[in-house]
Amino acid sequence: MSIDVRTSDQEPGTVLSQYDTDVDYLSYWTARNYEHRAEVMALSRLLQGRRFGHAVDVGGGYGRLSVVLRDYADQVTLTDPSYRQLEVAKRYLETHSGIETRLTDAAHLGFGPDSVDLAVMVRVLHHLPDPAQELSEIARIVKPGGYAIIEAANVKHAVNRVRYWLNGRRIPVTPVDIRSEENRTTESIPFVNHHPAAIARQLEAAGLHVERVLSVSNLRQPALKRVMPERLMLAAEYAMQVPLAPLSFGPSLFFMARKQPTA
């Protein structure tokens, strides 16, 4: 495994990222095993029976899902804007072959046009109030007939719908900033929820036609996690991902979109 620290518009080693913090993401995900396994379940479900040449894990952090993509692709490139994250990836992925890393951001991936068979972007859109440029970049690098899997934090999820209804408000179609007032004032990393219809429109505008959607992490509630065995939660999750997708039920939605083949 190698680390390429270049971006499309910066010299090697000069990348400074707002994600280069002291957050221990390995511990973060260790404490969120249900969410992790629900996302692995969704990816595996969407990719089952398919084989790709080159897959790119966009904004994939330390490679948590890159190892899953490697089961479906001959080569995986993990990209992330954080040098610190990729340093963790060097250790996390040292026993996994066929995975390279590249320091770059989702809006400037640096791959050639029509050069990638599969692009996956999970847990990134919630940091992007306006993801049009990033989605266009993904569409640019994916080959005609290739696929993109995009995860979005869902403002329309079931619990939120109840909250908005109780407050007599309609769910907004525009992105919703969920940061505290203090974090907004200090200009911390954005955290936004997106409306699924808006994301579907943006994917289509970028040239990516949505073929399938899954509702993911459907039981992501602290109270449930305290009383319900994880084994049962995951069994229920598996049963819920497909039928609840049309309802936009879960807090996370996985969109599988295809770049239209050239005539």
Q: 57-77, pLDDT tens digit by residue? A: 999 999 999 999 999 999 999
Mean pLDDT of 227-245: 97
pLDDT number for residue 184: 72
The string of pLDDT tens digits covering residues 92-141 is 999 999 999 999 999 999 999 999 999 999 999 999 999 999 999 999 99
- In the chain, the N- to C-terminal Cα span, in Å, equals 37
Q: Domain of 85?
A: 3-259
pTM for the predicted model, two decimal places: 0.91
The string of pLDDT tens digits covering residues 72-104 is 999 999 999 999 999 999 999 999 999 999 999
Domains contained in the chain, number = 1
pLDDT number for residue 2: 40
pLDDT number for residue 46: 98
The string of pLDDT tens digits covering residues 237-253 is 999 999 999 999 999 99
Q: In percent, how much of the chain has pLDDT > 90?
A: 80
pLDDT number for residue 20: 72
Q: Cα separation of 60 and 103, whole Å? A: 11
Mean pLDDT score across all residues of the chain: 91
Please say if the pLDDT value at position 19 is more than 90. Answer: no
Q: Which of 20-29, 199-208, 228-237 has the lowest mean pLDDT?
A: 20-29
Q: Cα separation of 97 and 166, whole Å? A: 51
CATH number of the domain bearing residue 131: 3.40.50.150
Please say if the pLDDT value at position 17 is more than 90. Answer: no
pLDDT number for residue 187: 67
pLDDT number for residue 190: 86
Please say if the pLDDT value at position 10 is more than 70. Answer: no
Read out DSSP for the chain? --EE--BTTB-TT----TT-SS--HHHHHHTTHHHHHHHHHHHHHHHTT--EEEEEEET-TTTTTHHHHTTTEEEEEEEES-HHHHHHHHHHTTT-SSEEEEE--TT---PPTT-EEEEEE-S-GGG-SS-HHHHHHHHHHEEEEEEEEEEEEBTT-HHHHHHHHHTT-PPPSS-EE-S-HHHHHTT----EEB-HHHHHHHHHHHTEEEEEEEEE-TT--HHHHHHS-HHHHHHHHHHHTTTTGGGT-SSEEEEEEEEPPP-
Q: Look at the block and give the residue holding tokens 């049962």.
A: 232
Q: Are 86 and 6 in contact (CB under 8 A)?
A: no
